[in-house]
A and B are shown apart, each in its own frame.
Chain A
């Protein structure tokens, strides 16, 4: 039982592209964070595919993917705190109206 290596790679590319669309096109901060999660999952899928291809004894791909999951948890925690702070100061969760630094 085997799988061509480029199948999961193309799937990860599609997942990454969908996440990038959400990051650029969505207004709501929480929806932007969801797009970032999709992109991180695409990267993890790549890491795991290459681990499954190489089967190295250090399991580097899997361990890197675990670290990415931990960093993603930190990212979503801080990101949601920022969105909540934005909502408290500007009465909106839309990144379009977060323009304090724009001139």
Chain B
């Protein structure tokens, strides 16, 4: 087992344990805090795979912005903080769907690429900027900025109090 695999198992175990507590926590604020752990673990995996820029974007946007937004959402909706039923009556349906997805996807993923290995040598921190600002990606880049603007306007319009 080489160092890359050791670090992968370390970060992967952290991601899976945190994600498990996100979906099973009986306290909504704790679920949000476990989500921070899962997202940080995924960011560490990006760094391990050589996608340094994306890893730090993950920390900045997900941990810095989205989790804070979710915590604000919990505060504004006065979500139940104490112990109480957070699952629907059909939680067994969710467990079944989840189990089938897990078995099917991991079976396909494990069988589809026999012997394929990812090389972990070298990071592409400088290359990513050039990749994003490649002229090929100008149109999707502008479209995403329009989408964010539309979502912002829509969110304000939805959450605004009627006068």
Contact = CB atoms under 8 A, between A and B. Distances in A.
Asked if A and B bind, the verdict is yes
Contacts of B23: 18-19, 21-22, 25-26, 34-35, 38
Interface in B72-98: 72-74, 76-80, 85-88, 90-91, 93-95, 97-98
Contacts of A58: 131, 134, 136
A71 interface: yes
Given A8-B49, A20-B98, A37-B62, A3 B79 contact: no
Given A5-B113, A67-B144, A81-B158, A30 B118 contact: no
A73 B117 CA distance: 32
Contacts of B106: 9-10, 13-14
Contact of B144 (A8, A35, A71, A88): A71
Contacts of A69: 54, 57-58, 61-62
Contact of A13 (B39, B97, B105): B105
B99 A17 contact: yes
B66 A76 contact: yes
Interface residues of A, number: 72
Given A11-B16, A13-B101, A31-B31, A1 B49 contact: no
A62 B156 CA distance: 30
B70 A33 contact: yes
Interface residues of B, number: 90
B61 A73 contact: yes
Interface in A46-60: 48-49, 51-53, 55, 58-59
A45 B48 CA distance: 12
Contact of A24 (B46, B51, B93, B121): B93
Nearest to B11: A11
Interface of B: 2-5, 8, 12, 15-16, 19-20, 22-23, 28, 31-32, 35, 38-39, 42, 45-46, 49-51, 53-54, 57-58, 61-62, 65-66, 69-70, 72-74, 76-80, 85-88, 90-91, 93-95, 97-99, 101-102, 105-106, 109-110, 112-113, 116-121, 124, 127-128, 130-132, 134, 136-137, 140, 144, 147-148, 150-152, 154-156, 158-159, 161
Given A3-B117, A11-B45, A93-B79, 14 more contacts: A5-B113, A12-B109, A13-B102, A16-B105, A26-B88, A30-B79, A34-B31, A38-B22, A41-B42, A69-B54, A71-B147, A80-B155, A81-B155, A88-B161
